[in-house]
Amino acid sequence: MAFTHIFAGDPLDRADAERRDDQWIKERLANPDSRILPLWRLNPLATNGDAPGLAWQDNSILEHAAEKAEPVLLGIRDDVAHFALDVTGGAKVAADVDGAGEENPAELLGLPGGTSFEDARGVATEISGEETGTLAHARAVVGWHQRHGFCPNCGATTYSTKGGKERICNSCGAHHFPRTDPVAIMAVTDPSGELCLLGQTRARRRSRFYSALAGFIDQGESIEAAVRREVWEEGGIRVGDVRYHSSQPWPFPSSLMIGCIAQATTTDIRIDPEEMTDVRWVSREEVLEALEIASAPNYSLTEDPGGEGVRVPGPIAIAHHIIKAWANGE
C-alpha cells in the first residue's frame, strides 16, 4: 500500500549506533551545521507564509533550553544530525509579568522573524508528509522526558542517556525507555457489507461527530482480539474476520493507531453508557457524504457546516482513511 498517514514517514536515520557514543553527540551538538527543532509546550517552531515548514535552528538555541531539558537526538540525514529541544519557559527568557511572553514565546527567545510556535495538530496539515513524521517523533520523545524525570520503580531522579532514548535512575539504576501505546481502531461492517458501525464518545455528545470505534490494546492481547473486545464492549456487536489496513503514529502523547477493517457477525447494538453516548449503523451513502464534507479545506468539528447526517474525522486521522477504504470498497 503506497500510502503514508500524517505523522508517519519520518525520513531520519535514527542513528542507533551513533547515539551510544557520548563524545559523538557532544561533537554534533557543538557543530553549527546540526539542526535543532525547538518545542514550546510540545508545539514546534514553524515558518509562516505560503509554504510552512519546521523551523530548524542552529546550536545557538541550546542556551534557551527549558530547566533540566536536554537536546534529544532524532536522527541523521545527509550526515547532518537533527535534535529536538524543549524550550518551554527557557532559562534565558526573562519573566514577563504581563504574560505577553506566553503569547509570543518565539519573539521572547529572539528567534528569526517569520517563525512561530504552532499547534502540532494544526501545522501537521500544512507541512510536508515527511516533516509530520519527524514532528511526531520529536513531540513524543520530548513529552516522554517531561513526564519521566523520576523513576517509577523507586521515585528517585533519573538522567538522560543515549541521545535521549533512555533514562537511568540515579538511585536503583533502573533503565527506562520511551514507550508507544498501541491502539486498535476499526471500521466495522455489518454482515451484508453495506453498513458501517460508528460511535460517539461522551466528549462529543452535543455534536454530530462520529468516528470508528477504538481502544487501547490490553496486555497479552493480539490486535485481532483487541478489535473484537472493543467492539463488543462499546457496542455489543460480535466480530468475526479482522483485517489489517495501516497504522499511524499519534503523538498525543505517544500512541500507535493500528487501523483495521472488521466484519460483524451480529447487528443488535448494546451501548456502554460509561464510554459512549451513541453507536449506530450508518449507510454507505451517508458515510460518503460525511467524508466529502470532512475533506474540505478548513474543515472543523467545532463549526457545524449545516445539512444532515453524521460528521466524521478529517484526513489528519487514520479513522478517516479506514472509513473511506470501506466506503470505497477498497
The model carries a pTM of 0.91
Band of residue 304 on the pLDDT scale cut at 50, 70, 90: low
In the prediction, which pLDDT does 104 show? 74
Whether 85 and 72 have beta carbons less than 8 Å apart is answered as: yes
Alpha helices, H only, the chain: 22-30, 100-103, 105-108, 120-124, 129-147, 223-235, 284-294, 318-327
Domain ranges of the chain: 18-145, 148-178, 181-327
Quick one: pLDDT at residue 98? 41
Q: What is the pLDDT of residues 14-70, one digit of tens each?
A: 999 999 999 999 999 999 999 999 999 999 999 998 889 999 999 999 999 999 999
Closest to 89 measured CA to CA, from 68, 114, 60: 68
Write out the three cell numbers for 256: 500507535
pLDDT tier at 203, thresholds 50, 70, 90: confident
Long-range contacts of 157-166 (CB under 8 A, 24+ apart): 160/70, 160/72, 161/22, 162/19, 162/20, 163/15, 163/18, 163/19, 163/25, 163/72, 163/73, 164/19, 164/70, 164/71, 164/72, 164/73, 165/19, 165/72, 165/73, 165/141
Q: What is the Cα–Cα distance from 183 to 214, expressed in whole angstroms?
A: 7
How many Å apart are CA 63 and CA 48, to the nearest integer? 24
Q: What are phi and psi of 280, to 5 degrees?
A: -145, 155
Is residue 267's pLDDT more than 60?
yes
Segment 87-99 shows an average pLDDT of 58
Backbone conformation region of residue 307, classed left if phi is above 0, alpha if psi is from -120 to 50, else beta: left
Q: Calculate mean pLDDT across residues 237-244.
A: 98
Nearest to 208 by CA among 316, 280, 315: 280
The C-alpha cell of 32 is what?
Answer: 553549527
Q: What pairs with residue 85 in β-bridges? A: 38
Q: What are phi and psi of 285, to 5 degrees?
A: -60, -45
pLDDT tens, position by position, 113-164: 899 999 999 999 999 999 999 999 999 999 999 999 999 999 999 999 999 9
Torsion-angle region of 42 (φ positive above 0: left; ψ -120 to 50: alpha; else: beta): left
- Rounded CA separation 275/257 (Å): 19
Judged by phi (left if over 0) then psi (alpha if -120 to 50, else beta), residue 183 lies in beta
How would DSSP label each residue in 58-108? -GGGGGGPPTT---EEEEEETTEEEEEEE-TT-TTSPP-TTSHHHH-HHHH
**Among 258-262, 270-274, 279-283, whose mean pLDDT is lowest?**
270-274
Q: How confident is the model at residue 202 (pLDDT cuts 50, 70, 90)?
A: confident
CB 171 within 8 A of CB 46: no
Look at residue 110 in the predicted model and tell me its pLDDT.
86
Q: Which three cell numbers stand for residue 328?
A: 470505497
Indicate the fold that domain 181-327 takes in CATH. Answer: Nucleoside Triphosphate Pyrophosphohydrolase (3.90.79)
DSSP letters along 27-43, please? HHHH-TTSEEEEEETTE
